[in-house]
């Protein structure tokens, strides 16, 4: 049976209705909305500062199907200033900083996301790869290109002013 070991750094806001399971550390300024699920199945998850995790988001750290040994699974580190929009599912083994996962996108557990990437609404990315910095995936065919500008980042102060 897996024990929950949840650490919330002062300044983070975690709604009581969120579902957290496993060894999870939540950075300062991070906001986790109701009905978001963060599941540390294969090992610990560390979420950086000032991330926004909206309703019905699923962040799952699970073993790839071809890996049976939990002892070699690294910690899932999610960088700072990432936005996870409503109902996206993210299983990436590593996520950098300043990324946006738009509504209803899916990122599989063999996709590493670097910095400044945008995974568009409804896009599904499952093929084993490392997304280079500032990559945008968009459209019904999940086209990929380099973004000219880095994604705009919502900070906690901006969110509180809305």
Integer Cα distance of 79 and 88 in angstroms: 17
Q: Give me 39's structure tokens.
A: 């599941």
| Residue-range domain boundaries for the chain | 5-161
What strands lie across the sheet with 23-26, from one edge to the other?
A: 5-8, 23-26, 45-47, 76-78, 94-95, 111-113, 129-131
At 158 the pLDDT is 44
CA proximity to 116, closest of 131, 102, 94: 131
Regions in the chain scoring below 70 on pLDDT: 1-3, 64-73, 149-162
What tens digit of pLDDT does each residue of 138-153 get? 999 999 999 876 656 5
**Which tokens sit at 76?**
């899932």
Answer for the pair 82, 95: CB distance below 8 angstroms, yes or no. Answer: yes
Residue 74: predicted pLDDT: 83
pLDDT at 86: 97
Phi-psi region of 72 (alpha: psi -120 to 50; beta: other; left: phi over 0): alpha
Which pLDDT score, from 0 to 100, does residue 48 have?
97
CATH superfamily, domain 5-161, is Hexapeptide repeat proteins (2.160.10.10)
**Which pLDDT does position 147 carry in this prediction?**
84
């Amino acid at each position: 049976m897996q024990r929950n070991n949840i650490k919330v750094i002062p300044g983070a806001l975690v709604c009581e209705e969120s579902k957290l399971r496993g060894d999870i550390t939540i950075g300062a300024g991070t906001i986790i909305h109701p009905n978001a699920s963060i599941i540390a199945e294969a090992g610990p998850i560390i979420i950086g500062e000032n991330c926004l995790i909206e309703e019905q988001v699923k962040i799952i750290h699970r073993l790839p199907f071809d890996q049976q040994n939990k002892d070699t699974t690294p910690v899932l580190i999610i960088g700072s200033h990432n936005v996870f929009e409503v109902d996206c599912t993210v299983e990436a083994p590593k996520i950098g900083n300043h990324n946006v996962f738009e509504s209803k996108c899916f990122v599989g557990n063999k996709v590493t996301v670097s910095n400044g990437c945008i995974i568009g609404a409804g896009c599904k990315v499952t093929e084993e790869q490392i997304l280079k910095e500032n990559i945008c995936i968009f459209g019904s065919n999940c086209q990929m290109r380099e973004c000219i500008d880095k994604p705009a980042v919502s900070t906690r102060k901006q969110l509180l002013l809305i």
